[in-house]
Amino acid sequence: MIEIITTVSLWELSKHAASWLVNLRRAKQSRRQESIAALRQVILASRQTRIWLQQPSISPEQQQTLATLWTELSFTLSDLGVEKLAKRCDLAGAQWQWSPNQAPEALARTQAQLAKLEGLAQALLAQLQQEHRLSESA
């Protein structure tokens, strides 16, 4: 049976995603372009997750949305060859059907990691899009 998602697994997920995002700075142009969709999905999944973490409970519709976002992200990452992170996202997607009860300090740590992940994804997305625009105008 799948375990309920924990703060530790969310933290590890965001840690791996942050590492992957940092490595994109050294990637070739073609990989950067392919990564724009994945970066957008990271931002969406992070935002939806952070919203959920602020709520005392989650509806079945919200659970389905989070499960879908993390699962779609896993597919995109797998297509890019980021298998370890893709697997973690896939597990997170499967685990969102349960509502974990977390301690306030664990929630704060998870919120901070997701905020960091989202900020990094937004910064890299802006950088990739600017570089793409510059290469098209050249």
Q: What is the pTM of this model?
A: 0.64
Question: Is 2 part of any domain?
Answer: no
Provide the domain count of the chain.
Answer: 1
Tens-digit pLDDT profile for residues 52-94: 778 877 777 888 888 888 888 889 888 887 777 778 788 777 7
At 107, the pLDDT band (50, 70, 90 cuts) reads: low
In angstroms, what CA-CA distances link 98 with 19, 41, 86, 117, 136? Answer: 27, 21, 20, 23, 45
Q: Count the neighbouring beta carbons within 10 Å of the beta carbon of residue 3.
A: 10
Domain extent for 16: 7-137
25 assigned to some structural domain: yes
Q: What is the pLDDT of residues 18-27, one digit of tens each?
A: 676 677 667 7
Nearest to 39 by CA among 125, 106, 98, 105: 125
Does residue 1 sit within a domain? no
Q: What is the pLDDT of residue 81?
A: 77
Cα first-last separation, the chain: 54
At residue 1 the predicted structure's pLDDT band, cuts being 50, 70 and 90, is very low
The span from the CA of 28 to the CA of 81, in Å, is 14
Query: Does 117 map to a domain?
Result: yes
Of 100, 116, 127, 110, the C-alpha closest to 32 is: 127
In a domain, 18, yes or no: yes
pLDDT value at position 4?
42
Averaged pLDDT of the chain: 74
